[in-house]
């Protein structure tokens, strides 16, 4: 635990032992290992307020109340991190000012290597201050547990920092129960999610910079990623995202954890295709869906219209002016 606050292993182990024992004499502490190293560890814990010397003639050490001592250290570290973030914002402004110079090539950066690309996306999640906008579609080369870890980190950013997260998921993901659970977990965590045919993978951060894959391996790993800073190209990426977002269907969690993505516009389009005599397979190809999804949405249409058959659904849709 103490490692997260900047302490070394020796200090962490000594602190855990003091918590377990309640108190330790100085000689007992020094006997735990190399005497000078133990002395330094004890002095460090005492100087940071985690350990104090008990009253009495003999040097005996006890743990300070953790609920107060650790809270103070956490507050100090958070204040330091806020200073670092403020400094980073200042440095970013200076970088952008330099980018506005004569070197247009500085507006675009290529990051190579699948490991570098994955690390870059994690940095994206951590660096956002206002919004992360994402196109999410397979294939994924990242292990499922790592994808879930990133999404949990996104949820934490939403809850603790108020960072807005908007994601458009590719329709094909709705045919995989594992992916549906992943999507719904994000929605419950505060993510704004919609579904549509997604043309490519894309991430835009704070409308200040974006990233998209440049080269991709057969396994789905991004072998090279393009970083785009404020420019006409970034404006085009933002416009593409907003266009797809505006036309996408909202994902809402239902009581049965299903994804209810069909709105009236979707049902009207489906009714027109059914009346035209198209088969489920043809409709699936036309809408970029699976046959199973088309059958499910057809059932939604029949339920919405109170129809018992496709023919009857077409007649009712026509009376409503949908066709």
Q: Enter the CATH code of domain 264-319.
A: 1.10.10.10
Residue 207's CB: how many other CB atoms inside 10 A?
A: 15
Per-residue confidence at 156, pLDDT binned at 50, 70, 90? low
Q: Which residues pair with 206 in a beta bridge?
A: none
Greater confidence, 204 or 279? 204
For the question of whether the overall pTM of this predicted structure is more than 0.75, the answer is no
104-250 has which CATH code? 3.30.870.10
pLDDT of residue 167: 92
Tell me the torsion sign for CA atoms 125, 150, 118, 253.
negative
Domain coordinates of the chain in residue numbers? Answer: 1-100, 104-250, 264-319
pLDDT, mean over the chain: 76
Rounded CA gap, 49 and 55, in Å? 16
- Per-residue model confidence (pLDDT) at position 260: 46
Q: Would you say 166 and 154 are in contact if contact means Cβ atoms under 8 Å apart?
A: no
* 63-119: pLDDT as tens digits: 777 766 777 777 777 777 777 777 776 776 666 665 555 456 567 777 776 566 667
Region 178-196 average pLDDT:
82
Domain 1-100 is of which CATH architecture?
A: Orthogonal Bundle (1.10)
Q: 3-class DSSP state for residue 168?
A: strand
pLDDT for res 163: 83
Instruction: State the pLDDT confidence band at 301, using cuts at 50, 70 and 90.
Output: confident
pLDDT digits (tens, 9 = 90+) for 218-270: 555 556 778 888 888 899 999 999 999 998 888 765 433 444 445 566 778 88
Matching fold, domains 104-250 and 264-319: no
pLDDT at 95: 64
Q: At 212, is the pLDDT very low, low, confident or very high (cuts 50, 70, 90)?
A: confident
How close are the terminal C-alpha atoms of the chain, in Å? 63
Any idea which of 36-50, 62-76, 149-163 has the lowest mean pLDDT?
Answer: 149-163
């Amino acid at each position: 635990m103490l490692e997260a606050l900047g302490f070394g292993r020796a200090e962490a182990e000594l602190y855990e032992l003091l918590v377990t024992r309640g108190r330790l004499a100085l000689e007992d502490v020094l006997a735990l290992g190399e005497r000078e190293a133990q002395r330094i560890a004890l002095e460090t814990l005492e100087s940071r307020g985690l350990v104090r010397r008990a009253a009495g003639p003999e040097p005996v050490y006890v743990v300070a109340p953790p609920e107060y001592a650790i809270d103070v250290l956490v507050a100090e570290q958070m204040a330091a991190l806020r200073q670092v973030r403020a400094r980073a914002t200042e440095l970013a402004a200076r970088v952008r000012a330099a980018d506005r110079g004569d070197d247009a090539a500085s507006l675009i950066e290529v990051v190579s290597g699948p490991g570098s690309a994955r690390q870059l996306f994690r940095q994206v999640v951590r660096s956002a201050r206002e919004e992360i906008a994402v196109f999410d579609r397979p294939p994924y080369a990242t292990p499922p547990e790592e994808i879930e870890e990133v999404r949990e980190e996104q949820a934490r950013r939403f809850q603790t920092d108020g960072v807005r997260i908007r994601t458009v998921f590719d329709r094909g993901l709705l045919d995989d129960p594992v992916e549906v659970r992943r999507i719904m977990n994000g929605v419950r965590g505060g993510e704004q999610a919609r579904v549509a045919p997604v043309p490519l993978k894309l991430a835009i951060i704070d409308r200040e910079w974006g990233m998209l894959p440049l080269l991709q391996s057969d396994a789905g790993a991004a072998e090279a990623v393009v970083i785009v800073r404020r420019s006409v190209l970034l404006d085009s990426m933002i416009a593409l995202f907003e266009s797809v977002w505006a036309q996408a269907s909202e994902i809402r969690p239902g009581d049965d954890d299903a994804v209810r993505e069909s709105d009236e516009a979707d049902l009207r389009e489906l009714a027109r295709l059914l009346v035209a005599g198209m088969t489920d397979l043809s409709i699936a190809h036309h809408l970029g869906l699976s046959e199973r999804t088309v059958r499910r949405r057809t059932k939604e249409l029949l339920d919405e219209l109170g129809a018992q058959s496709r023919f009857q659904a077409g007649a009712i849709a026509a009376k409503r002016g949908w066709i």
